[in-house]
């Protein structure tokens, strides 16, 4: 800090020339536009990234300040360097912190395109999504049971559609250097198969059956011994819902966290079907309320 104070005041045209000390404060009113960039940057540091970007359009000083590394460093996850290495084969050099934040906010692919990771723009929280093609689905190779269908409703452009099956089981895992914090795992599912006809979204629910007989079981395990389980009935045909599996905690962001999750309904006294499986998502726990089905 310690910007040159007197130069600032003498820089103002004609507004500071008064020799009468007593009411100079009234005669010259430096406004916020006269603040040096490093002070503006201190102010910007109190805002979240979208607000910083919005305020950057105030004037040149705000725009310049919005590029300050120390502002963006405080928004990045603590292990952002590890994240960059995981996500990019060639980490570009000489990137400012703001550019790093921007890059990480994009849904970057890894593990052969079956998984995506991005920062939540406002909070900088790390979010993961595992595509249906990245999950181990029992019977996926048998077209009588499951099919991959293209759709614009998925960020992966394809979902797995279940026509009918006795033994329903979906497993998956992800190994990722999540920053310290607590996270929730969800399955993104829809009863019924949506399509567009004449520009309108319609949902075909002819195969939807068996989900109201016994509940579905969800579970997760982490490599450091955490375990969570839940069960519920699937409801609401024609709408994508996030079904909460459970919560886990990462307490050391130096290590990579391995998370396994599963969804099962293996009561073989009845078949079930008509289900679209989009993905499994892992979000910071603060988003749980927003996404929870119930």
Task: Tell me whether residue 41 or residue 208 sits nearer to other proteins (CB atom).
Answer: 41
49 versus 134: smaller Cβ distance to other proteins: 49
Q: Does 96 bind other proteins (CB under 8 A)?
A: no
Q: Which of 13, 14, 22, 89 binds other proteins (CB under 8 A)?
A: 22
**Least distance from other proteins to the Cβ atom of residue 42, Å:** 4
Q: Which two tokens stand for residue 43?
A: 């102010």
Nearer Cβ to other proteins, position 52 or 208? 52
- A 10 A CB-CB count for 150 gives 9
Considering the rule CB under 8 A, would residue 278 count as an interface residue with other proteins? Answer: yes
Among 84, 105, 203, 228, binds other proteins (CB under 8 A): 105
* Residue (255 or 291) nearer to other proteins, CB: 291
Nearer to other proteins, 25 or 294 (CB): 25
Q: In sequence order, what E strands does the chain have?
A: 108-110, 115-119, 126-131, 136-137, 146-150, 158-162, 168-176, 181-191, 193-197, 200-204, 216-222, 227-232, 240-250, 257-265, 275-284
Helix (H, G, I), strand (E, B) or coil at 99: helix
DSSP assignment, residue 32?
Answer: G
Select the residue interacting with other proteins from 56, 117, 128, 277 (CB under 8 A): 56
102 binds other proteins (CB under 8 A): yes
Q: Of 62, 74, 71, which Cα lies nearest the Cα of 36?
A: 62
Q: 3-class DSSP state for residue 242?
A: strand
- Footprint (CB under 8 A) of other proteins, residues 176-195: 188
The site map against other proteins for 216-255 (x = CB under 8 A) is ------------------------x---------------
Nearer to other proteins, 114 or 279 (CB): 279
Cα dihedral angle (136, 138, 139, 140), rounded to 10 degrees? -20
Q: What count of Cα atoms within 13 Å lies in the side-chain half-sphere of residue 74?
A: 14
Class of residue 207 by CB neighbours under 10 A (exposed 0-12, middle 13-18, buried 19+):
middle
Q: Note the residue count of the chain.
A: 294
Distance CA 68, CA 61 (A): 11
* From 139-147, 225-233, 254-262, 277-285, span contacting other proteins (CB under 8 A): 277-285
Whole-number Å distance between alpha carbons of 63 and 53: 8
Give whichever of 21 and 199 is closer to other proteins, judged by the CB atom. 21
Binding interface with other proteins (CB under 8 A): 1-3, 5-6, 8-10, 16, 18-19, 21-22, 24-25, 28-36, 38-39, 42-43, 45-47, 49-60, 63, 102, 105-106, 118, 120-122, 127, 129, 154-155, 188, 240, 278-279, 281, 283, 287, 290-291
């Amino acid at each position: 800090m310690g910007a040159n104070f007197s130069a600032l005041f003498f820089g103002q045209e004609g507004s500071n020339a008064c020799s009468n000390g007593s009411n100079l404060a009234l005669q010259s009113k430096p406004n916020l536009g006269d603040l040096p960039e490093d002070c503006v940057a201190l102010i910007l540091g109190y805002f979240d990234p979208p607000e910083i970007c919005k305020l950057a359009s105030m004037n040149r000083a705000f725009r310049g300040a919005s590029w300050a590394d120390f502002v963006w460093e405080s928004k990045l996850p603590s292990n952002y360097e590890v994240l960059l290495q995981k996500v990019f084969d060639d980490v570009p050099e000489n990137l400012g912190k703001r550019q790093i934040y921007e890059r990480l906010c994009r849904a970057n692919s890894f593990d052969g395109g079956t998984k995506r990771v991005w920062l939540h723009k406002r909070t900088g929280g790390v979010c993961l999504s595992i595509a249906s093609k990245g999950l181990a689905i029992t019977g996926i190779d048998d077209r009588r049971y499951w099919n991959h269908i293209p759709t614009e409703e998925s960020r992966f452009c394809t979902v797995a559609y279940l026509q009918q099956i006795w033994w329903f089981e979906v497993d998956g895992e992800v190994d990722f250097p999540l920053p310290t914090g607590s996270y929730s795992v969800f399955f993104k599912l829809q009863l019924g198969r949506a399509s567009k006809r004449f520009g309108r979204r319609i949902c075909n629910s002819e195969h939807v059956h068996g989900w109201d007989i016994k509940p579905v079981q969800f579970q997760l395990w982490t490599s450091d011994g955490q375990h969570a389980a839940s069960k519920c009935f699937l409801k609401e045909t024609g709408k994508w819902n996030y079904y909460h599996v459970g919560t886990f905690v990462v307490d050391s962001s130096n290590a990579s966290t391995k998370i396994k999750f599963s969804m099962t309904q293996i009561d073989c006294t009845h078949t079930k079907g008509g289900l679209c499986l989009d993905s499994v998502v892992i979000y910071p726990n603060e988003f749980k309320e927003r996404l929870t089905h119930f």
